[in-house]
Every structure is written in structure tokens, then in C-alpha cells.
């Protein structure tokens, strides 16, 4: 990959990056205002407030939804750390603090480098020609422009000590701040049932006992004082499908009730919409009643036809016992009795629980390979963009723009 060799090339590269950043910010501000994208950009708020669906087919066209704005930046900037913890939790606050720390540290390094190292590397006793600075090679601003044995090397050595002291000091202050926040978070947060529960997978199959009996006997034997109870997981794709349909229709009804009747777009029903148009609110109310009847009929026969899967949620009397059991190997076979901390109730994907442990590992390996492949492919356009970041290459590839680039 070609590297800018002059100040003008570096300035052009910086300009391209700035323009791309502004473009990305504008696209984000447009996409986040689209009603159909609410479940992507406002997923946490919708889950927390159990809000209504924001399906795009129920919204009128609004020009402001397609114009970029900076209101979201102002709102994000005004958020305090307490508000971030309340909205997104401690982990999100720590992630934001990591980004803020990087901006502060590298910003300080950049300012000190421009004010100290760049002049020291460039100045050699001659007069600096400001008018011709764009044609100067970048090597003139690096340590390669400093001669061996020069006294200017002391500036680099001193700069390393200053940056090291700055990094250690900022890391110490940041760690102390996060530690205080974590202690405060643990003091105010009420214990949750999920903190006392672990997820047990790959329960071995037995011809004498069911999965639930095996789990109960196993933990009664090895954790007699702290084991509380276990909840088996049953395979039922139809149950999950019905619940998902009911939740979706309920969100649609809740959303339509907030709209005036004149703003509700009539809904075509029947095969290929040939049954005519109907009011969407009345249609979905009828749909949810039908789904409830199906769910009641299915509940009547569910407990007779249910089948266990080798997965169980095990609860303990203390969080310490749950943590120890989650991170310890319970047997000599690593592929059985696999334990982990229980996920949040809203994060449980019931369909994935039925996936076998060996298949789950294969999926993880495949995802890792795909990730590496995509990462390698990313370097191709990135290299092309970096190559185009020099004036010489742009003049070669686009001769018609020579006059504009020469300006």
C-alpha cells in the first residue's frame, strides 16, 4: 500500500476521512429516524418500555425523516453517567469510558507531538518556508530527519517519559473511577434471580432417569447445602411460534390504538389481498383472539406430549455458589455437564438451547473462520482507498482531474 509522502498527500487523506465521517454521521441520523428501523436502533428502549411496534407501513411520509440532523449528538452529549447506567447498565458505561479514555490519551499525545516533536524534527537551523510546506516530504517531520548523535534526540527521550507518566496517571485515575462506579452499582442494584442461576447443557442421557431427575440428583449430591431447584427445558417449536405471533400482533394493536382512525392505512386481507380492505385494528383484534384459542387448545395437550431436552436452569441459595458452579468443570468429560452463568431473561434464545453442545462448537468455529475471512477481505478496499489517498496516484488514475488536484 502506498503511503502519503508529502504533507499535501497527508492533508488529502485527512480530508477524505473527515468527509467519510460526516457522511456516516449523516446516514446514521437518517437511518435511526426511519420507523422500520426502530427495533434496531431503539431495541433497548422498546424492550424496557414494552413499546408499540413501529412498522413502517403504518406511518405517513415525512420529509424530516430523510434529512440528516445533529439532535441525537446533543442528546447523547447531555447524558450523565448516572443516566447511562440507568438506561444501559454498567457494562455500557465502561465501554463508553474506554472510548473517552482513548480520545483523551491520543488527543494529548497528538497535541504534544505537534507542539514538541514535529518542530524539533523539522527545524535544523534553516528558515522555515511556510508557503512551500505542502510540498515538504513527511520524512522531514519524523525522527529520520534527526542526525545521529544530535542533541535533539533528548527531546524524544524526554517525550517518552512524559507520555509514559501521562498514560500511567490516566489509567490509574480511570481505574479508580470505574472501581467506585462498580461498587456504587453493586450497592444500589437489587439481586436478580438470574444471578443465582446457572445454565446446564449437555446433560448425559440415561435409560433409567429423565434429564430433570439426573440434574436434581447430581446437584443434590455435589451441592447439598446450596442447591435450591432446577427447571427443565422442553422442546416445543409450535409453542414458541404461537407466543411470538401473539406478541407481534399485540404490539401492532397497541400501536394502532395510538393512531387516529383517519391515519390507519386499510389492510388487504385474504389470499393475495382479494378479500378486500379492512380496518387494521379490527383485523388484528380478531387475529389475536384466534391465536389465543389456538394457544389454549395447545396448552391442554402440551404436558402430555412434551419432551425434555438436555438443558436445565439450576438455581442456588447464594450467588457465590452459582458463580463457582458456573466456572468449574463438574465432571472429567468436558463435553458433558457444561455450565455457564444464566443469561438475562430477555436474552434467552429458546431455539438455540436445543442445539447440541458439539454442534454449537462447530458453529462457533465456522463463525470464527467467516470473521477472519471478512477481516481479510476488508483490507482490499481499505488498501485501495489508502492508495487513492495520494495526489500522484489520483492524477495517474484520473487525468481529467489534474487541474483540480493541482490547486
Question: So what's the pLDDT on residue 400?
Answer: 63
The answer to whether the CB of 215 falls within 8 A of the CB of 200 is: yes
CA distances from 7 to 11, 134, 213, 297, 344 (A): 6, 5, 73, 75, 52
pLDDT tens column, 24-43 = 988 988 888 887 777 777 76
The answer to whether the CB of 236 falls within 8 A of the CB of 305 is: no
pLDDT tens column, 41-74 = 776 666 666 544 444 444 555 677 778 888 888 8
The answer to whether the CB of 111 falls within 8 A of the CB of 134 is: no
Domain limits of the chain? 7-189, 193-356
Least confident of 167-176, 250-259, 313-322: 250-259
The answer to whether the CB of 218 falls within 8 A of the CB of 337 is: yes
What is the signed CA dihedral for 125, 130, 135, 137, rounded to 10 degrees? Answer: 40
DSSP code, position 190 = P
* pTM of the model as a whole: 0.56
pLDDT tens column, 236-257 = 767 778 888 888 888 888 877 7
Helix (H) or strand (E) holding 128: none
Inform me whether the pLDDT recorded for 144 exceeds 80: no
How far is 3 from 387, CA to CA, in rounded Å? 7
- For 38-78, give the secondary structure using H, E and C: HHHHCHHHHHHHCCCCCCHHHCCCCHHHHCCCCHHHHHHHH
Using DSSP, state whether 67 is helix, strand or coil.
coil
> How many residues appear in the chain?
407
Burial 32-61 (b: 16+ CB within 10 A, else e): ebebeebeeeeeeebeeeeebbbbeebbee
Task: Give the contacts of 311 (CB within 8 A, at least 6 positions apart).
Answer: 199, 200, 201, 203, 211, 232, 233, 353, 354
What is the signed CA dihedral for 290, 292, 294, 297, rounded to 10 degrees? Answer: -140
Question: So what's the pLDDT on residue 389?
Answer: 56
Q: Across the chain, what does the average pLDDT equal?
A: 80
How far is 280 from 284, CA to CA, in rounded Å? 6
How far is 161 from 164, CA to CA, in rounded Å? 5
Using DSSP, state whether 230 is helix, strand or coil.
strand
Nearest to 115 by CA among 140, 134, 141: 141
What is the Rg, in whole angstroms, of the alpha carbon atoms belonging to the chain?
A: 31
Q: Max Cα separation, the chain?
A: 93
Amino acid at each position: 500500500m502506498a503511503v502519503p509522502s508529502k504533507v499535501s498527500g497527508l492533508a488529502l487523506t485527512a480530508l477524505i476521512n473527515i468527509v467519510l465521517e460526516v457522511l456516516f454521521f449523516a446516514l446514521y441520523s437518517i437511518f435511526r429516524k426511519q420507523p422500520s428501523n426502530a427495533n434496531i436502533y431503539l431495541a433497548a428502549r422498546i424492550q424496557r418500555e414494552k413499546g408499540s411496534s413501529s412498522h413502517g407501513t403504518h406511518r405517513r411520509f415525512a420529509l424530516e425523516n430523510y434529512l440528516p440532523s445533529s439532535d441525537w449528538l446533543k442528546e447523547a452529549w447531555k447524558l450523565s453517567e448516572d443516566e447511562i447506567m440507568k438506561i444501559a447498565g454498567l457494562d455500557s458505561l465502561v465501554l463508553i469510558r474506554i472510548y473517552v479514555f482513548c480520545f483523551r490519551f491520543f488527543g494529548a499525545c497528538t497535541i504534544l507531538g505537534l507542539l514538541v516533536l514535529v518542530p524539533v524534527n523539522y527545524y535544523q537551523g534553516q528558515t522555515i518556508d511556510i508557503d512551500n510546506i505542502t510540498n515538504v516530504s513527511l520524512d522531514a517531520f519524523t525522527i529520520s530527519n534527526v542526525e545521529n548523535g544530535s542533541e535533539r534526540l533528548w527531546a524524544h527521550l524526554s517525550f517518552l517519559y512524559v507520555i509514559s507518566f501521562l498514560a500511567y496517571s490516566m489509567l490509574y485515575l480511570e481505574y479508580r473511577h470505574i472501581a467506585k462506579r462498580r461498587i456504587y452499582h453493586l450497592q444500589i442494584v437489587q439481586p436478580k434471580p438470574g444471578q443465582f442461576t446457572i445454565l446446564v447443557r449437555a446433560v448425559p442421557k440415561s435409560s433409567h432417569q429423565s434429564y430433570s431427575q439426573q440434574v436434581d440428583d447430581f446437584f443434590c449430591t455435589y451441592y447439598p447445602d446450596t442447591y435450591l431447584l432446577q427447571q427443565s427445558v422442553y422442546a416445543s417449536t409450535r409453542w414458541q411460534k404461537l407466543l411470538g405471533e401473539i406478541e407481534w400482533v399485540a404490539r401492532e394493536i397497541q400501536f394502532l390504538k395510538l393512531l387516529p382512525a383517519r391515519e390507519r392505512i386499510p389492510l388487504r386481507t385474504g389470499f393475495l389481498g382479494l378479500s378486500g380492505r379492512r380496518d387494521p385494528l379490527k383485523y388484528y383484534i380478531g387475529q389475536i383472539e384466534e391465536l389465543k384459542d389456538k394457544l389454549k387448545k395447545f396448552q391442554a395437550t402440551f404436558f402430555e406430549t412434551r419432551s425434555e431436552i438436555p438443558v436445565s436452569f439450576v438455581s442456588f441459595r447464594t450467588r457465590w455458589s452459582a458463580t463457582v458452579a458456573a466456572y468449574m468443570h463438574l465432571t472429567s468429560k468436558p463435553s458433558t455437564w457444561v455450565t455457564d452463568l444464566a443469561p438475562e431473561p430477555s436474552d434467552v434464545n429458546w431455539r438455540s438451547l436445543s442445539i447440541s453442545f458439539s454442534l454449537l462448537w462447530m458453529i462457533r468455529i465456522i463463525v470464527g473462520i467467516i470473521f477472519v475471512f471478512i477481516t481479510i477481505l476488508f483490507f482490499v478496499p481499505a488498501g485501495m482507498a489508502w492508495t487513492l489517498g495520494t495526489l500522484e496516484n489520483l492524477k495517474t488514475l484520473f487525468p481529467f482531474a489534474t487541474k483540480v488536484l493541482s490547486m
